[in-house]
């Protein structure tokens, strides 16, 4: 009983555009994860009330710029935040649906 | 409506008293019931560079569920002594597992 | 070389050829009843040879193919549904295959007592599915937002993000509470009830997460009342989206798990 000969793996997508998009998406996912963590941390710090108004403003400005930049980058490939999420099975989703 | 639990109920199907025609169930509902509860088939991030799969999260998720299904039956005939031809008809499964 | 196996769909009370004659299996094969004592197994013959779709290697590959899996799952379900509409039936998991009909009869002998009892329990019952989706979070602020660099834009951004996070948390907390109440209420109208894992949002395509994926074993005679209860709950919690589906074979209550 010989196994069927597979010249190539069954799942191949050598389309250059698709490769680029997938890689881009992966990078954006990682950045989005970090952005969300930073934002959560920032909100917590603000809640704790140990930041000056100037510090709050500066933090907000930085996060707002990052958010705007992310939206621009996602727009290049027509991706939404939800597209960037990764399902981790029993662990839930990477970005927590946020 | 739970009368006659003794022997007779085996003649009572679920469909007979329902006027409604069967509705096509959606695929997610079917899969979670026939394959594994809580199956996830989305989770679609996959990067393929020629024949190197950098990231195959989608595939991994499917296989996670398939493994579960294999435990439950897909793998079953491989362990079946009648089919694998190593063992008598009533061989117990512990031994079959050891055979593999 | 062709090698065939008996693919099991369901264990059921004896069922007539008039029912089985109209059914086609996962390989578009006719299905038949293998009888042993007072139970039958509904089976089809499939190719499990190296070149067949249910051969060991091919099956592993095919199961990773979403299109193939979908078609086979639907076919599997269609047979079980057809049988369960005629007689009480306990479904088997997808791709449960034994060597031949003798193997099928071995299983029937082994399962006989337990299955006879569970089939009695589900006789005259069907499974219904009720899902509840979380409400849309309140949209706290749709005013145009100052661009980065504008004075006060930073603090305003943080405030807005905070409001969004709070609204989302509130919606999820509400959904979780509603899910508990709905399940409890429906369970009272059911012979048996189970909470399945909620389905992934991308799988459902819904805007908000699912908070309840309930399965209910409902007497046929109580089906109308059950559906009416779902409608009442729908009205009681208008911000949550309800999905009702059924009747189905009692998958979540009698599926044969053990090979």
Q: Would A69 be classed as within a structural domain?
A: yes
A residues 18-57 closer than 8 Å to B (CB): 18-19, 22-23, 25-26, 29
Alpha carbon A82 to its chain centroid, in Å, reads 9
Q: Would B11 be classed as within a structural domain?
A: no
Burial B10-35 (b: 16+ CB within 10 A, else e): bebbbbeebeeeeeebebbbbbbbbb
CB contact, 8 Å: A97 with chain B? no
Q: How far is C201 from chain A (nearest CA, A)?
A: 8
The residue among C258, C50, C17, C156 whose CA lies nearest residue A4 is: C50
State the pLDDT at residue B27.
Answer: 77
CB contact, 8 Å: B86 with chain A? no
pTM for this model (two decimals): 0.70
Q: Is the pLDDT of residue B36 over 60?
A: no
Judge whether C48 and C54 are in contact, CB under 8 Å.
yes
The residue among B84, B98, B93, B73 whose CA lies nearest residue C59 is: B73
Confidence of residue B56 (pLDDT cuts 50, 70, 90): very low
CB proximity list for C53: less than 8 A, separation 6 or greater: C27, C46, C47, C59, C62, C68
Distance CA C83, CA C20 (A): 7
If one counts every other C-beta atom within 10 angstroms of the C-beta of residue C141, the result is: 12
Q: Is the pLDDT of residue B69 over 50?
A: no
CB contact, 8 Å: B78 with chain C? yes
Alpha carbon A32 to its chain centroid, in Å, reads 3
CB proximity list for B47: less than 8 A, separation 6 or greater: A19, A22, A23, A26, B53, B54, B55
The structural domain count of chain A equals 1
CB contact, 8 Å: B64 with chain C? no
Distance CA B29, CA C256 (A): 17
For the CA atoms of A83, A85, A89, A91, the dihedral, rounded to the nearest 10 degrees, stands at: -160
Alpha carbon C258 to its chain centroid, in Å, reads 18
Query: Which residue segment(s) compose the domain that A56 sits in?
Result: 44-84
If one counts every other C-beta atom within 10 angstroms of the C-beta of residue C151, the result is: 10
**Which residues of chain C neighbour A47 with C-beta distances below 8 Å?**
162
Q: Would A51 be classed as within a structural domain?
A: yes
Asked if C220 and B27 come within 8 Å (Cβ–Cβ), the reply is no
Does the bond joining C247 to the residue before it have cis omega, within 30 degrees of 0? Answer: yes
The structural domain count of chain B equals 1
Query: Which residue segment(s) compose the domain that B35 sits in?
Result: 26-99
The residue among B54, C25, C212, C182 whose CA lies nearest residue A26 is: B54
Q: Would A71 be classed as within a structural domain?
A: yes
Distance CA B85, CA B88 (A): 8
Q: Which long-range contacts (CB under 8 A, 24 or more apart) does A4-12 make?
A: A4/C50, A4/C51, A4/C57, A8/B51, A9/B51, A9/B53, A10/C61, A11/B48, A11/B53, A11/B56, A11/B59, A12/B48, A12/B50, A12/B51
Q: Would A75 be classed as within a structural domain?
A: yes
Q: Would B3 be classed as within a structural domain?
A: no
Q: Would B66 be classed as within a structural domain?
A: yes
CATH of domain C126-254: 3.30.70
Judge whether A39 and A63 are in contact, CB under 8 Å.
yes
Q: Parallel, antiparallel, or unpaired: how do β-strands B46-49 and C125-133 relate?
A: unpaired
Q: Would A28 be classed as within a structural domain?
A: no
Q: Would B6 be classed as within a structural domain?
A: no
List the domain boundaries for chain C. 4-123, 126-254
Q: What is the pLDDT along chain C (259 residues), one digit of tens a residue?
A: 568 888 899 999 999 899 999 999 999 999 999 999 989 999 999 988 878 888 777 776 777 677 788 889 899 999 999 999 999 999 988 888 888 888 889 889 988 888 888 899 899 999 999 999 988 887 765 666 777 778 888 999 999 989 988 888 898 899 999 999 999 999 999 999 999 888 777 667 778 889 999 999 999 999 999 999 999 999 999 999 999 998 999 999 987 765 5
Q: Which of A86, A88, A93 to mutate to test the interface with B (most CBs of B within 10 A)?
A: A86
Chain C residues at the A interface, defined by Cβ less than 8 Å, are 1, 50-51, 57, 61, 147-149, 152-158, 161-162, 165, 168, 200-202, 209
Paired tokens of A2: 């010989």
- DSSP letter for C134, please: P
pLDDT in tens, B17-32: 444 444 557 777 887 7
At what angle are helices A53-76 and A16-48 packed, to 10 degrees?
160
Q: Would B30 be classed as within a structural domain?
A: yes
Helix (H) or strand (E) holding B93: helix B93-99
Distance CA A82, CA A84 (A): 5
């Amino acid at each position: 009983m010989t196994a069927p000969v597979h010249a190539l793996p069954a799942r191949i997508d050598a389309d250059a555009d698709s490769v680029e998009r997938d890689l881009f998406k992966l990078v954006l996912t990682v950045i989005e994860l970090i952005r969300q963590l930073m934002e959560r941390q920032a909100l917590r710090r603000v809640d704790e009330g140990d930041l000056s108004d100037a510090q709050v403003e500066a933090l907000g400005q930085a996060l707002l710029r990052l958010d705007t930049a992310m939206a621009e980058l996602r727009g290049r490939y027509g991706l939404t935040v939800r597209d960037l999420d990764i399902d981790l099975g029993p662990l839930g989703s990477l970005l927590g649906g946020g | 409506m739970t009368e006659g639990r003794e022997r007779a109920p085996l003649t009572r199907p679920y469909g007979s008293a329902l006027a409604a025609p069967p509705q096509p169930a959606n695929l997610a509902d079917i899969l979670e019931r026939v394959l594994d509860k809580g199956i996830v088939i989305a989770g679609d991030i996959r990067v393929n560079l020629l024949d190197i799969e950098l990231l195959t999260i989608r595939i991994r998720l499917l296989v996670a569920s398939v493994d579960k299904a294999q435990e439950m039956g897909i793998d079953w005939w491989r362990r079946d002594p009648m089919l694998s031809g190593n063992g008598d008809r009533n061989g117990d499964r512990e031994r079959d597992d050891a055979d593999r | 070389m062709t090698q065939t196996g008996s693919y099991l769909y369901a264990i059921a009370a004896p069922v007539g050829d008039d029912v089985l004659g109209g059914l086609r299996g996962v390989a578009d094969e006719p299905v038949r009843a293998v009888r042993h004592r007072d139970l039958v197994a509904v089976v089809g013959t499939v190719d499990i040879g190296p070149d067949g779709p249910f051969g060991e290697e091919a099956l592993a590959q095919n199961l990773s193919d979403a299109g193939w899996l979908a078609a086979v799952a639907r076919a599997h379900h269609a047979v079980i549904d057809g049988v369960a509409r005629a007689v009480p039936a306990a479904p088997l998991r997808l791709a449960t295959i034994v060597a031949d009909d003798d193997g099928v009869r071995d299983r029937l002998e082994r399962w006989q007592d337990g299955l006879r009892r569970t089939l009695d329990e589900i006789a005259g019952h069907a499974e219904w599915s009720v899902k509840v989706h979380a409400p849309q979070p309140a949209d706290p602020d749709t005013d145009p937002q100052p661009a980065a660099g504008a004075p006060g834009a930073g603090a305003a951004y943080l405030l807005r993000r905070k409001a969004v996070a709070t609204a989302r948390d509130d919606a999820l907390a509400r959904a979780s509470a509603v899910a508990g109440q709905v399940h409890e209420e429906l369970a009272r109208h059911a012979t048996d009830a189970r909470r399945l894992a909620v389905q992934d949002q991308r799988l459902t395509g819904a805007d908000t997460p699912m908070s309840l994926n309930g399965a209910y074993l409902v007497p046929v005679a109580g089906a109308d009342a059950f559906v009416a209860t779902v409608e009442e709950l729908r009205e009681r919690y208008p911000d949550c989206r309800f999905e009702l589906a059924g009747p189905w074979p009692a998958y979540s209550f009698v599926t044969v798990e053990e090979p």
